[in-house]
Amino acid sequence: MHHYIEQFGKDHCLCYKAVTIRDYLRINRRFNQHIQKPLDKIDRKDVRSFLIMLSESGLKPGTVATNLTAIYAFFNYCLEEGWITNNPVVGIPFPKVDEKLPRYLTYPELASLRACVEGNLFEQAMVEVFYTTGVRISELVRLRTEDLNWSERSILIQDGKGGVDRIVLFSATCGQYLETYVSSRADSSPHVFINPNTKRSFGISTINARFQSYSDSIGFRVTPHMLRYTFAAHLAQKEMSLDHIRQLLGHVNPRTTRHYATLYDHAQKKMYDKWM
């Protein structure tokens, strides 16, 4: 079975992120050590035995679910290659994972963040783009000026998560900050957000560090991804449908959609409670 696991890794090195394929290989190697059976002899009982072992070792349901996902992906690959006739993982239920409500900013908290960056063109533009578009931090650092459509107040997100392009919209206020920031620069960089010292696009760690400084200043934690949650929650409170929000967020994973559905329901209930 070791040979098939290594081949799985080689064939999927471009399909998954490096950290994902590394984890999938580690999990399947551990599964192989636990079972110690030929590939075509492994059945559902073997998979369940492994999951029980993981649970009894103290792993959380979410971690056990990740292990099951990795094993499923491997056996599905083996099935497609014709090395086995069925996937022994099919039919095994995933451990129930308690959905934690994503933390998003209230309107007063958002106002505090905006006040914190007031007067800094770059920071004002960055915060507004995060909040009014819902983009991921990895997408923001790759934004190029050619991706901006000023007349339509839209941004083309190229090669988003899952390799899918999408269009996101930005507000008039965001457009004002963004246009003022871009127009104030004298460099020739094609990127929307650049480090004034290096004239290159900001790195993810640098932006995260900025948000840590905001957190220290305003007295509560705020991150770029929290603004993505805030974007979704505030649109839900304004009664935009979950389907439309999901399209703007660029979801490709059904489990992520369920995650945001919980946020959506909570945000709408908050608005209901405010008016009742």
The yes-or-no verdict on residue 272 having pLDDT over 50 is no
The yes-or-no verdict on residue 60 having pLDDT over 70 is yes
For the chain, what is the domain count? 2
Quote the percentage of the chain above a pLDDT of 70: 87
Sign of the Cα pseudo-torsion (87, 81, 73, 229, in order): negative
Q: Tell me the residue range of the domain where 29 lies.
A: 2-80
Does 55 lie in the same domain as 12?
Answer: yes
Q: Residue 201 phi/psi, 5° resolution?
A: -65, 150
Does 174 lie in the same domain as 42?
Answer: no
Does 265 lie in the same domain as 136?
Answer: yes
pLDDT band at 67, cuts 50/70/90? very high
Does 74 lie in the same domain as 124?
Answer: no
Q: How far apart are CA 51 and CA 132, in angstroms?
A: 42
The yes-or-no verdict on residue 222 having pLDDT over 80 is yes
DSSP letter assigned to residue 150: T
Last residue of one domain, picked from the residues 80, 96, 129: 80
In a domain, 91, yes or no: no
The yes-or-no verdict on residue 26 having pLDDT over 90 is yes
In a domain, 126, yes or no: yes
Mean pLDDT of 46-58: 92
In a domain, 102, yes or no: no
Does 190 lie in the same domain as 73?
Answer: no
pLDDT at 276: 39
Does 152 lie in the same domain as 32?
Answer: no
pLDDT digits (tens, 9 = 90+) for 157-193: 887 666 678 888 899 999 999 999 999 988 889 999 9
In a domain, 199, yes or no: yes
The yes-or-no verdict on residue 257 having pLDDT over 90 is no
In a domain, 54, yes or no: yes
pLDDT digits (tens, 9 = 90+) for 114-138: 999 999 999 999 999 999 999 999 9
The yes-or-no verdict on residue 17 having pLDDT over 90 is no
**What is the domain-level CATH number for residue 262?**
1.10.443.10
Does 268 lie in the same domain as 173?
Answer: yes
The yes-or-no verdict on residue 229 having pLDDT over 80 is yes
Does 183 lie in the same domain as 139?
Answer: yes
pTM: 0.61
Does 116 lie in the same domain as 64?
Answer: no
In a domain, 32, yes or no: yes
Strands 154-157 and 148-149: antiparallel
Does 256 lie in the same domain as 217?
Answer: yes
pLDDT at 263: 62
Q: How far apart are CA 276 and CA 272, in angstroms?
A: 6
In a domain, 92, yes or no: no
Q: How far apart are CA 158 and CA 152, in angstroms?
A: 17
Angle (CA) 119-120-122 rounded to 5° is 145
In a domain, 100, yes or no: no
Q: By mean pLDDT, which of 149-158, 186-195, 242-251 is the weakest?
A: 242-251
Q: Average model confidence (pLDDT) for the chain?
A: 85
Quote the percentage of the chain above a pLDDT of 90: 43
Contacts 24+ apart (CB under 8 A), 105-108: 105/222, 105/226, 105/227, 105/230, 107/234
- The DSSP bridge partners found for residue 144 are 191
Does 239 lie in the same domain as 159?
Answer: yes
